[in-house]
Amino acid sequence: MIEQLEKLVHTFGPTGQEQAVAELIRTEIAPFVDEIRQDPLGNLIAVKKGKPGGKKIMLAAHMDEIGLVVSHIDENGFCRVRPVGYVLTATLVGSRVRFANGTIGVFGAEDEDKALWKPTGKLPAWDKWYLDVGAENKAAAPVQVGDMAAFYPFFHQQGNRLIAQSMDDRSGCAVLLAVAKQLSAPANDVYFVFTVQEEIGTKGAVAATYDVHPDMGIAVDVTFSADTPKAAPMAVVLGQGAAIKVMDGGMIAHYGLRQALVETAEAAGIPYQMEVLPGGTTDARSIQLSREGVPAGAISIPSRYMHSKAEMVDLRDMIACANLLTRFVTESA
């Protein structure tokens, strides 16, 4: 799983440009499934057939990561950008980004009153930030308006802690790949759906759910942890197992499905914790609201520093998520 995750976080894939991630996942999952297809929106759907009469279970993890799009290039070659997804301006100073063509950009900001250098200074608004791509003038700029960038990739393991810029949600993709590799004869048809455009409103999951028409759906994504100094109270911490979602800012998990996941975890001795997330949501919201409605829930990977350039998860939690999903789709009637 560690090797798989490292490949995923190094692959370029901001929202709207997930194709390279999809190609990597297709290669990795192909030996373990019966069918693979990609829909017109870009969602990758891999199917593992189960026993006759079983249910159709959709497992979803999103391939995209937060990014930026070039909106203007001035005469001196500096780029103005807009966020694609929720990008924290507090993390931008000196941050590097990477474009699909390999160009590296470095963030700077208009700072006439030197606010960035004052302990109590206010962060500039988005229209004050710029991206320096090393160009001497507009004609020499190696990127164009409309080009997208993702934050510069890295991966580091420190004990059980794994750190990278796009654990949201490449860690979820790695969990689904681990499930696919562990399945032999599931009781149900399992649809591994790697979605696009989650970071701008869980859009890919809408199209994918209409395509699959599942009997139930489970999203796998990251969630906030509450184990850092003076963190907001929340019953989720790193290293304590899979977080079974009760609700978040966009949905309430289906009660029966939630309880079935709890019972599966307890019967198998898989560590778990319960997640009540005040804000944000996952692909489970779109799954739940598709067609006539789908019983949906989520299993979350606790994460620190979400949407920063160094998100941290725990390998033990990822393993717990993979084991719980494997057990559930294998045995669930």
Sheet holding 56-62, edge to edge: 35-38, 44-48, 189-195, 56-62, 216-224, 296-303, 242-247, 272-276
Distance, in Å, from the CA atom of 288 to the CA atom of 306, rounded to the nearest integer, reads 24
Please give the average pLDDT of every successive group of 10 residues along the chain, which has 333 residues.
96 97 98 96 96 92 97 96 91 90 93 64 82 96 97 96 95 98 90 97 95 96 93 92 96 96 97 94 95 95 94 98 95 70
CB 43 within 8 A of CB 194: yes
Distance, in Å, from the CA atom of 4 to the CA atom of 2, rounded to the nearest integer, reads 5
Distance, in Å, from the CA atom of 176 to the CA atom of 61, rounded to the nearest integer, reads 7
Any alpha helices (H) in 186-313, and if so which ranges? Answer: 203-212, 255-268, 283-289
Q: Which CATH architecture has domain 2-65+165-331?
A: 3-Layer(aba) Sandwich (3.40)
Sign, Cα dihedral of 63, 130, 86, 163: positive
Res 119: pLDDT: 64
Distance, in Å, from the CA atom of 99 to the CA atom of 105, rounded to the nearest integer, reads 8
Q: Which CATH architecture has domain 67-151?
A: Beta Barrel (2.40)
Active site residues: 198
* Tokens read off for 81: 């950008």
Task: Tell me which amino acid residue 53 is.
Answer: G
Domain locations along the chain: 2-65+165-331, 67-151
Res 70: pLDDT: 97
Res 120: pLDDT: 63
